[in-house]
Amino acid sequence: MRTKTIAALTLMGLALALPASAHELTIKAKSNEVKAGVPFEATVQSAHKFIVPEEVEDVSRVRAGIFEDGKFRESPVTGSEKDLCINFTVTPARDGTMLLIAEKDGETWCVTSEGGRSGARKTLEGQGLKVLSATKYDKYAKAILNASGDDKTFAAVVGHPLEIIPVTNPADAKAGEFFEVKILLNGQPYTGPVWATYDGFVTEYENTYAYYTEAESGVAHIRITSPGLWGVRAMQAGLPGAEGDYDSRSLRAFLLFEVK
């Protein structure tokens, strides 16, 4: 009886927990013109549909900026309830390819006897809730802008715990051809699912991607099928937790680039 109740609660909890956990963190630039010394505006988005802004993340948990000359230069971030995104501005030191990054230090999401709740396991237990599972969702996004033939900036490794790194220069990406990426999980080759999609592929349905493959020893190939803004996504669940706070950690990564 007790087992059945817990199973039912787990299912109910999962149903409640999944919508919140499936928000994806992406970056969208307001233009494609990169010029040294000229402020460049971009947004951090959180949504279930690719590149359709839906929710303003907690700005205290989001960092965004430019990755240049081997360093992350963080910019101030401002939430916009009107545009449902987080705005930031960077000023590149150089012309050429620019790499923008966004990171979300996720809150712990618990499946409890009362449904999905955010908060550390011990905090919620302290409130008398029965916590069935506690997961921390950390998210990372990179956007490559203004890629060009002789600029290797696109291949920079920024050091995110889960990171998608292009092997193919986005400047060479073409519809009908394969785009190769390298994926690292804590610096080691990642093996697991990879999704990809592009702006406009679908606007009607959530969590719907144009392409699926699996990375083998850190390598995945995505067949590009359209010009436009592309996003490649990988995720890893079940990483070690932190006693009392969360049982496991889940990582999401998104790589964005423009196909001409």
Smallest gap from Cβ 23 to Cu ion, in A, equals 3
- Which CA distances in Å does 188 have to 57, 99, 138, 161, 216? 29, 22, 18, 9, 12
The CB-of-48 to Cu ion minimum distance in angstroms stands at 6
Smallest separation, CB 141 to Cu ion (Å): 15
**Helices and strands: H and E segment counts in the chain:** 2, 18
Are 45 and 87 a contacting pair, CB within 8 Å?
Answer: no
- DSSP-derived letter for residue 164 is E
Residue closer to Cu ion by CB (options 14, 20) is 20
Q: Are 28 and 51 contacting, i.e. CB atoms less than 8 angstroms apart? A: yes
- Nearest approach in angstroms of CB 153 to Cu ion is 31
Task: Give 23 or 117: the residue with its C-beta nearer to Cu ion.
Answer: 23
Cβ-Cβ contacts under 8 Å for 188 (sequence gap 6 or more): 218
Residue nearest to Cu ion (CB): 23
Question: By C-beta, is 23 or 28 nearer to Cu ion?
Answer: 23
Binding to Cu ion by residue 14, rule CB under 5 A? no
Site string for Cu ion, 15-34 (x = CB under 5 A): ----xx-xx-----------
Q: Compute the distance between CA of residue 229 and CA of residue 96 in angstroms, rounded to an integer.
A: 18
Q: How far apart are CA 260 and CA 257, in angstroms?
A: 10
Q: Which stretch binds Cu ion (CB under 5 A): 1-9, 13-21, 204-212, 247-255?
A: 13-21
Query: How near is the Cβ of 19 to Cu ion at its closest, in Å?
Result: 5
* Of 103 and 258, CB closest to Cu ion: 103
**Strand duo 131-145 + 246-259: pairing:** parallel
Structure tokens at 220: 């995945």
Give the rounded distance of the alpha carbon of 82 from its chain centre.
22
Q: Please report which residue ranges of 101-255 form alpha helices under DSSP H.
A: 121-126
- CB of residue 248 to Cu ion, shortest distance in Å: 18
Nearer Cβ to Cu ion (47/66): 47
Nearer to Cu ion, 72 or 209 (CB): 209
Binding-site size, Cu ion (CB under 5 A): 4
Given the rule CB under 5 A, which residues bind Cu ion?
A: 19-20, 22-23
